[in-house]
Amino acid sequence: MTPVAGAATPPPSHPGAASWTARPAVSGSGTGGRPYFYLEGPPGTVLQDRLSVTNPGPFPVTVRLSGADADDAKSGGSGARAGGEGATGTGRWLRTAVTEVTVPARTRADVPFTVTVPAGATPGDHPGAIVVRGGDRSVGVPVRLRVGGPTLAALTVEDVSVSGRAIHYTLVNRGNAVLAPRIAVRADGVFGTLLRREARTLPVRVRPGQRLRLTEPWRDVPALDSATVRLRVTAAGGAHGEATARAVFVPWAPLSAGALLVLAAAGAGTYTYRRRRSRDRQPDDEQRPGRSPGDEERPGRSSGDQQHSRSRRLAKAGAES
């Protein structure tokens, strides 16, 4: 650590001090600022550089340093610990000269660090970062490491689907170089082309081995059609990939309302038909064949009594005649 300018007697540390900055160290003349570190070397080499932590405030500031992979740096370094523990790539290969430094007021401290590239490292890009934490802040300074050797650019597009007013897809970097993909979109329906977008560069960078889920907006989706959606992606180095998906568009709201009306009409017709059949199957007692109004069975009389009564009525009728 190299203090560049400092106060003779710094005041006590202030817990709320948060005006510090962290960036790649500049040259001795103080010019030539860099937005990130760029290191390049073959497998088995040790690369070196310096990080500057500047405290322009009136109180000392204590910060902690650790290496991190690119994903961990974007999340604020929550998974990286001192010495790069928890990292699996560049963050694990990176070591700072100290893991904690106190920067006096109005002072800049330059902290050396090294990146030890393993002998079996895969050629290509290996992005990482140095995570600096102090107070309630966390800053990730990017480290772009390129390991020497043959470069392979390979990119595929997968899991294409259409949902609502958007096309969803996944980009997969299957090479060893960081890629800036370009995408072209086309959708063809039954009666012609529904969507056509020329190739354009996406605002993302896909690292080696990374799977990135993205969404392409499609606001003017058809109300009723069957479409074939085609996505084609390309990147520098000859990387390219293409995938298709089928999408069926149906106006579900009108169809649902119509289905409900049909069901209601069918139910009403069935109910009316059954009522009519029920009335037809229940004739009056006076119209039943084989019985007269006087033949009603009286409760409490046996079948023998009823037969004897009928015989007496017949005999009486014969005598009268």
pLDDT confidence bin for 7, thresholds 50/70/90: very low
Q: Is the pLDDT of residue 316 over 70?
A: no
Q: Is the pLDDT of residue 10 over 50?
A: no
Q: Which two tokens stand for residue 192?
A: 């012609």
CA dihedral 13, 52, 101, 48 (to 10 degrees): 180
The radius of gyration computed from the CA coordinates of the chain, to the nearest angstrom, equals 43
Q: Is the pLDDT of residue 124 over 60?
A: yes
Which residue has 């017709």 as its token pair? 269
DSSP code per residue over 4-36? -S--SSPPPP-TT----EEEE---TTS----SS
- Between 2 and 10, whose confidence is greater? 2
DSSP code per residue over 189-212? ETTEEEEEEEEEE-S--BPTT-EE
pLDDT confidence bin for 122, thresholds 50/70/90: confident
Q: Find, among 204, 208, 197, the residue nearest to 231 by Cα.
A: 197
pLDDT, tens digit, 9 for 90 and up, residues 157-177: 999 999 989 999 999 999 988
151 secondary structure, DSSP code: -
pLDDT, tens digit, 9 for 90 and up, residues 45-69: 999 999 999 999 999 999 999 999 8
Which H or E run contains 275? helix 252-280
Q: Which residues of 250-276 are buried (b: 16+ CB within 10 A; e: fewer)?
A: eeeeeeeeeeeeeeeeeeeeeeeeeee
Residue 191: half-sphere exposure toward Cβ, Cα within 13 Å: 4
196 burial (CB, 10 Å; 0-12 / 13-18 / 19+) is exposed
pLDDT, tens digit, 9 for 90 and up, residues 235-282: 999 999 999 999 998 875 554 544 456 565 666 666 676 677 776 665
Model pTM? Answer: 0.59
